[in-house]
């Protein structure tokens, strides 16, 4: 018999629709109810998805059938909501970032540990077919020893886009002021930092440049409220790999990743699509290299370790790019970890390490990174290390 765990969502905004729509992909999850401090938003969301609406956070936490709290509030509320849920004895899956400061993040990791509770943190794209395929290829040594990584997280010049018209399927507006105040590094760097730290281990050193390039992006709002909209950093991993990661809400959309090894290059064009293709370029054999202009063969598709068969497309509007993301997979990972009595992938320790890296990225200069985390294990369906 399938054991299912009761799940309650806190924060019924723009991203919550993606969770509600992907929860049915995971039979181990059962939606019990939702809560938002904005009662009208909670009512619209609950009605749209046919989910019970709790009148207060206290009511939600008083419901014994809620085993996992899914924290989809704004980043400013993450630490408070996660702390309340952990103090009430609930496992938590939180959207990124874990918290906005290292001290709050540490406190949450310690609280979860001291209560024997599982705290998982998004994004969960590491659990997707694309990331798992890339990781398998690295374990199998298809590019030899990895040396260098170039990772782009450019979302386009959002201030030039009609962002005020972006509405989620249950009617939540895209929270543009919040996004500009938090900035692309805290909002998005984790999409690749989660992969890279899982693949290559902890980071020891970050050298960064960050700037608010377009402060006057919202008429009538002073730029001093906004976070840097451009951040580029070079990272040194304990394993010796060096990575350059750039985040912006200015340069045209580009979320490509290249991993350069001694024997070739792996590339992914998109980290917001769990089934995005992986390509491989291998070295031209030494005996042919003198007679051709290039040292790399043309890219060839590298097959995914399994088909990507989830059922939700990230954006509804045909004018927008489509992103296939199974948001609820991270919640399912927390449920599976609890059921199986093991630590969750997408762990809070890894999220704390990633938070320390991102906060260092947002400063200019060189910073040592102190935190570390237990190695992450690949998904069982992605095969064992070669
Ligand atoms: N918008 C996206 O496309 C997107 C994509 C991936 C991840 N995320 C992440 O998801 C999280 C939420 O983003 P969003 O875009 O849905 O924001 P949003 O502003 O649309 O929604 C957040 C909701 O949380 C509610 N809330 C805030 N504090 C609360 C509290 N203490 N108690 C109860 N409710 C509270 C707000 O009323 C609001 O309805 C953020 O961490 C963001 O980084 C967003």
Residues with CB under 6 A from ligand 1: 10-16, 35-38, 41, 72-75, 77, 80-81, 95-96, 172, 174-175, 178, 187
Looking at the domain assignment, is residue 74 inside a domain? yes
**Tell me: the pLDDT tens digits for 175-206?**
999 999 999 999 999 999 999 999 999 999 99
* Minimal-distance CA residue to ligand 1 atom 18: 13
Q: Tell me, in angstroms, the distance from the centre of ligand 1 to residue 12's CA.
A: 7
Residue 259 pLDDT more than 90?
yes
Residue nearest to atom 6 of ligand 1 (CA): 15
φ, ψ for residue 40, nearest 5 deg: -65, -40
What pLDDT is stored for residue 321 in this prediction?
45
Same domain for 183 and 48: no
Domain end point (choices 121, 144, 176): 121
- pTM, 2 dp: 0.96
Please tell me the predicted confidence (pLDDT) of residue 320: 46
- Which residues are registered as beta bridge partners of 35? 10
Ligand 1 atom 29 nearest Cα: 73
Whether the pLDDT of residue 226 is over 70: the answer is yes
Same structural domain, 106 and 145: no
**What's the CATH number where 52 sits?**
3.40.50.720
Is the domain of 98 the same as that of 9? yes
- Spacing, Cα 233 to ligand 1 middle (Å): 27
What number of residues does the chain have? 386
Out of 24-28, 71-75, 380-384, which region has the weakest mean confidence (pLDDT)?
Answer: 380-384
What number does the ligand 1 atom closest to the CA of 15 have? Answer: 16
pLDDT per residue as tens digits for the range 34-93: 999 999 999 999 999 999 999 999 999 999 999 999 999 999 999 999 999 999 999 999
Whether residues 26 and 73 fall in one domain: yes
Do 96 and 65 reside in the same domain of the chain?
A: yes
Which of 8, 9, 15, 170 is the best mutation target for the ligand 1 pocket, counting ligand atoms within 8 Å of the beta carbon and taking the most? 15
SS3 of residue 223 by DSSP: helix
Q: Which atom of ligand 1 lies closest to the CA of 97?
A: 41
The domain of 151 spans 126-324+348-372
Confidence label for 325 from pLDDT (cuts 50, 70 and 90): confident
Query: 125-159 burial by CB neighbour count: b if 16+ within 10 A, else e?
Result: bbbbbbbbbbbbbbeeebbeebeebebbbbbebbb
pLDDT in tens, 267-323: 999 999 888 999 999 999 988 887 777 899 999 999 999 988 765 554 455 444 445
Q: Is 98 in the same domain as 140?
A: no
Per-residue pLDDT, 312 = 56
- Helices H / strands E in the chain, number of each: 10, 14
Report whether the peptide linkage leading into residue 211 is cis, meaning its omega lies within 30 degrees of zero. Answer: no
């Amino acid at each position: 018999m399938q054991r299912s765990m009761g799940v309650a969502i806190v924060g019924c905004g723009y991203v919550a629709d993606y969770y509600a729509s992907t929860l049915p992909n995971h039979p181990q999850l059962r939606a019990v109810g939702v809560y938002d401090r904005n009662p009208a938003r909670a009512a619209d969301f609950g009605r749209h998805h046919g989910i019970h609406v709790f009148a207060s956070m206290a009511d939600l936490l008083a419901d014994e059938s809620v085993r996992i709290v899914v924290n989809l509030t704004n980043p400013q509320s993450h630490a408070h909501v996660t702390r309340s849920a952990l103090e009430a004895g609930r496992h938590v899956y939180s959207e990124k970032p874990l918290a906005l400061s290292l001290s709050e993040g540490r406190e949450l990791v310690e609280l979860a540990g001291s209560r024997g509770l599982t705290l998982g943190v998004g994004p969960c794209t590491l659990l997707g077919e694309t990331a798992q395929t890339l990781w398998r290829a690295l374990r199998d040594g298809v590019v030899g020893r990895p040396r260098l990584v170039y990772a782009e997280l450019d979302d386009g010049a959002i201030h030039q886009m009609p962002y005020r018209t972006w509405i989620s399927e249950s009617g939540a507006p895209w929270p543009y002021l919040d996004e500009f105040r938090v900035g692309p590094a805290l909002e998005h760097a984790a999409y690749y930092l989660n992969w890279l730290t899982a693949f290559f281990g902890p980071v020891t050193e970050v050298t960064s440049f960050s700037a608010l390039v377009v402060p006057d992006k919202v008429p009538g709002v002073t730029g001093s409220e906004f976070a840097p909209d451009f951040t580029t950093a070079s990272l040194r991993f304990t394993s010796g790999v060096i990575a350059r990661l750039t985040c912006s809400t200015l340069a045209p959309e580009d979320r490509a990743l290249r991993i350069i090894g001694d024997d070739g290059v792996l590339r992914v064009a998109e980290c917001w699509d769990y089934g995005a293709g992986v390509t491989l370029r291998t070295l031209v054999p030494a005996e042919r290299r003198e007679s051709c202009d290039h040292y790399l063969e043309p890219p060839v598709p590298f097959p995914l370790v399994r088909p990507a068969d989830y059922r939700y497309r990230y954006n509804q509007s045909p004018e927008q790019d489509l992103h296939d993301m199974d948001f609820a997979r991270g919640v399912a990972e927390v449920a599976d970890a609890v059921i199986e009595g093991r630590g969750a992938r997408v762990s809070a320790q890894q999220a704390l390490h990633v938070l320390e890296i991102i906060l260092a990225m947002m400063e200019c200069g060189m910073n040592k990174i102190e935190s570390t985390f237990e190695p992450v294990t690949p998904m069982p369906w992605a095969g064992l290390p070669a």
